[in-house]
């Protein structure tokens, strides 16, 4: 499994967000062993409420494919997706979600609920969690402890 390899790419994206002063979450979309979309959280810098890492990566992948259906693709993200991003993963028909660490406050892929495996919706994802979980949670913890220290 190359899960750790792709998660390291998502972590690189998360660090880019941190360097912009954004909550450090990063994501990549992988299709046929190739990165077809990458993204990091850009909510503040773009003033875009939907500018989460997952949405940026999904839109980039769809644009590259010329198709909103990301059939056969996997999304790697450092933090458990929120409801918006979980819904976007279902809507874009991503096959597999791999995330690093849980988000107990807003995560909707296991924590507050599980929108990516709702049998009533017309698509469900395979889910793997805990890949490079320490690095993924550390990058966020470090950001917030730096923020608190001013």
Smaller CB distance to its own copies: residue 11 or 58? 58
Interaction of residue 150 with its own copies, rule CB under 8 A:
no
Smaller CB distance to its own copies: residue 75 or 132? 75
Burial readout 48-72 (b: 16 or more C-beta within 10 A, e: otherwise): eeebbbbbbbbbbbbeebeeeebee
Binding mask 103-132 for its own copies (x = CB under 8 A): --xx-x---xx-x--x-xxx----------
Cross-strand bridge partners of residue 127: 97
Smaller CB distance to its own copies: residue 5 or 69? 69
Catalytic residue among 22, 54, 63, 138: 54
User: Is the separation of the CB atoms in 89 and 75 below 8 Å?
Assistant: yes
Of 58, 18, 60, 59, residue with least CA distance to 41: 18
Interaction of residue 87 with its own copies, rule CB under 8 A:
yes
Burial class, 120, CB count within 10 angstroms (exposed 0-12 / middle 13-18 / buried 19+): exposed
In the complex, the residues that contact its own copies under the rule CB under 8 A are: 43-44, 46-52, 55, 58-59, 62-63, 65-70, 82-88, 90-93, 105-106, 108, 112-113, 115, 118, 120-122
């Amino acid at each position: 499994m190359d899960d750790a390899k792709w998660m390291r790419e998502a972590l690189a994206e998360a660090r880019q967000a941190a360097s912009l002063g954004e909550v450090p979450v990063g994501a990549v979309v992988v299709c046929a062993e190739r990165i077809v979309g990458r993204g990091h959280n850009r909510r503040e810098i773009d003033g875009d409420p939907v500018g989460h890492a997952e949405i940026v990566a999904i839109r980039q992948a769809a644009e590259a494919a010329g198709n909103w259906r990301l059939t056969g693709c996997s999304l790697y993200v450092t933090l458990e997706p929120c409801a918006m991003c979980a819904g976007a993963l279902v809507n874009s028909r991503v096959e597999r979600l791999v995330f690093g660490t849980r988000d107990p406050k807003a995560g909707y892929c296991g924590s507050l609920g599980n929108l990516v495996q709702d049998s009533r919706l017309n698509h469900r994802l395979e889910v793997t969690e805990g890949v490079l979980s320490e690095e993924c949670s550390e990058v966020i913890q470090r950001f917030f402890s730096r923020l608190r220290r001013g």
